[in-house]
C-alpha cells in the first residue's frame, strides 16, 4: 500500500515538474504580447506646447493608443483633442512594428493641420503608415523608445 502511494506521488511530482515550466513560459510570452500602460506626455515645438495623457493597449497582434490632450500656442490659443489609433502589432525581440489601421482625431482644427505632426509620429496620426518602437520592461512598467530616444515612461495597469 505504501509503495502504491509513493508511485502516485512520484508521478504527480514528475507531472508538476513538466507542467510548471511550460506554464511559466506561456505566462512570460503572454505578458510580452498583452499589456496596458498609461503615460503623460508634454512637449514643445515651434511655439506650440502639448500636454496630454494617454493609454497604450497591446493585445496580441492588435493595439490601441488613446490620447487626450491640449495644444496651446504663443498667443494662448488652446485646442483640445482626442486621438484614437488602432493598429496591427508585430513583435521582434524588443522591437514592436506598428501599422496604423484606423485613426480618429476629434478636433477638426487639428485634424486639418500639421500641428499634431510636430509631436506625434505619423503612424499615430495617419492611417496606413508603419513604424517601429522599442518597448523595454522596467519591473512592472515600460519605457517606449524610438531608436535610442526614450519617448514615454508608461505605468502598467
Go through the domains of the chain in sequence order and give each one's CATH number.
34-156 (2.40.128)
The per-residue pLDDT for 3 is 54
pLDDT for residue 1 is more than 90: no
Residue tagged 512637449 (cell numbers): 43
The per-residue pLDDT for 4 is 63
Q: What is the pLDDT of residues 85-132, one digit of tens each?
A: 999 999 887 788 999 999 999 887 777 678 888 888 888 889 999 998
Please give the C-alpha separations between residue 110 and each of 60, 73, 119, 125, in angstroms, as whole numbers: 31, 12, 12, 11
Q: Are 65 and 36 in contact (CB under 8 A)?
A: no
N- to C-terminal Cα distance for the chain? 51
Stated pTM of the model:
0.77
DSSP string over the chain: -HHHHHHHHHHHHHHHHHHHHHHHHHHHHHHHHEEEEEEEEEEEETTEEEEEEEEEEEETTEEEEEEEEEEE-TT--EEEEEEEEEEEEEEETTEEEEEEEEEEES-HHHHTSSSGGGTS-HHHHSTT-EEEEEEEEETTEEEEEETTEEEEEEEE-
Q: Which has more confidence, 28 or 13?
A: 13
Q: Give me 76's grid cell.
A: 494662448
Band (15; pLDDT cuts 50, 70, 90): confident
pLDDT for residue 2 is more than 60: no
Q: What is the pLDDT of residues 33-91, one digit of tens each?
A: 778 899 999 999 989 999 999 999 989 899 999 999 999 998 888 989 999 999 999 98
Amino acid at each position: 500500500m505504501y509503495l502504491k502511494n509513493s508511485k502516485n506521488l512520484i508521478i504527480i511530482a514528475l507531472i508538476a515538474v513538466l507542467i510548471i515550466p511550460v506554464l511559466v513560459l506561456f505566462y512570460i510570452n503572454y505578458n510580452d504580447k498583452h499589456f496596458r500602460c498609461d503615460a503623460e506626455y508634454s512637449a514643445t515645438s515651434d511655439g506650440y506646447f502639448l500636454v496630454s495623457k494617454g493609454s497604450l493597449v497591446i493585445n496580441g497582434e492588435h493595439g490601441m493608443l488613446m490620447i487626450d490632450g491640449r495644444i496651446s500656442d504663443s498667443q494662448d490659443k488652446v485646442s483640445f483633442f482626442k486621438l484614437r489609433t488602432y493598429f496591427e502589432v508585430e513583435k521582434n525581440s524588443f522591437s514592436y512594428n506598428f501599422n496604423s489601421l484606423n485613426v480618429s482625431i476629434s478636433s477638426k482644427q487639428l485634424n486639418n493641420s500639421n500641428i499634431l505632426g510636430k509631436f506625434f509620429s505619423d503612424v499615430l496620426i495617419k492611417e496606413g503608415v508603419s513604424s517601429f518602437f522599442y518597448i523595454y520592461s522596467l519591473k512592472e512598467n515600460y519605457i517606449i523608445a524610438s531608436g535610442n530616444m526614450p519617448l514615454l515612461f508608461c505605468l502598467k495597469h
